[in-house]
Amino acid sequence: MKTAGRVLADKVRSIKESQAFDIRSSALPTWCPGCGYFGIHQGLNGCIKELGVPHHEVQVVSGIGCAGRYPFFSHTYGLHTVHGRTLPVATGVKLANPALTVFAVGGDGDGLAIGGGHLPHVARRNVNINYVLFDNSIYGLTKGQPSPSSPPGTKTKASPFGTTDRPLNATLLALTYDASFVARLFAGDPEGIQKALVEGVKHEGFSIFHIYSTCLTFDKTFKTWDNLKKWVHPIPEGHDPTDRKQAINLALEDDFCMGVIYKRA
Ligand code: SF4
Ligand code: MG
């Protein structure tokens, strides 16, 4: 029969074991309640736990914006850098210490506007880092302006008559730049994010995770939870993720299929 002291010691040990590799920091996220970024955080945390990577071997690098705040909420090494420069800084970190598992984290405004010129080069160099692109098609932290992935007609305070520009498709861009691992995912599916991240982190080379998310504070019409839940669906059965042409065709034809679209064999 266990003594009360032994029962308590066992309980403490089991709590510690369940928290091992949990990268959520004690700083609670300052994102708006209901923001899709919580689902991404959950997926990334689940990935680190599943892989059992110690906190001191994980480096998170962010740029600016709501997604840029991610390193504050992650109990790992973190760099909150400057607008659009996540990929070059993450490349430098990986070069300096290849033993680190490196995540570049940023939003659509950060990574597809001023930072857009870095994606082709990190892809063609096949740097072994993981780029988690939080795409809610809006600039959230600066109070809701259209971003490079906003659809035509997006009305905001900065575009009261609706935008006229065509949106960038980060999945298609990554495929045409010959990124060696491309997944498109949904913030409302943390398990799916975890699964793809685990596969992508194990992949030797550049991995991009294009995650559709919501900004429920500033986008009431496009990437809302209700719309995304209706639109997203799994990649069709029979899709061969090692076939780049097939992957590009799929990305051209279907904006809302989710999963690992391409993985160089
Ligand atoms: Fe999320 Fe939008 Fe709030 Fe930023 S402003 S935390 S993107 S809901
Ligand atoms: Mg955004």
Q: Kindly list the protein residues whose Cβ atom lies closer than 6 A to any atom of ligand 1.
A: 31-32, 35, 37, 66, 136, 140-141, 215-218
pLDDT tens for each residue of the chain, 265 residues long: 778 888 877 776 766 666 678 888 888 899 999 999 999 999 999 999 999 999 999 999 999 999 999 999 999 999 999 999 999 999 999 999 999 999 999 999 999 999 999 999 999 999 999 999 999 999 999 999 999 999 999 999 999 999 999 999 999 999 999 999 999 999 999 999 999 999 999 999 999 999 999 999 999 999 999 999 999 999 999 999 999 999 999 999 999 999 999 999 9
Atom 5 (ligand 1) nearest CA: 140
Atom 3 (ligand 1) nearest CA: 32
This prediction has a pTM of: 0.94
For residue 66, give the ligand 1 atom closest to its CA. Answer: 4
Ligand nearest to the CA of 212: 2
Cβ atoms of 182 and 243 closer than 8 Å: no
56-to-60, 72, 192 alpha-carbon distances in Å: 11, 15, 25
Say what angle helices 37-51 and 190-202 make with each other, to 10 degrees.
Answer: 50
Tell me, in angstroms, the distance from the centre of ligand 2 to residue 213's CA.
8
Domains of the chain, earliest start first: 26-263 (3.40.50.970)
User: Considering Cα of 156, then 159, then 161, then 163, what sign does the dihedral take?
Assistant: negative
Counting ligand 1 atoms within 8 A of each CB, the residue from 217, 220, 225, 228 with the most, and so the one to mutate, is 217
69-to-65, 112, 135 alpha-carbon distances in Å: 7, 17, 15
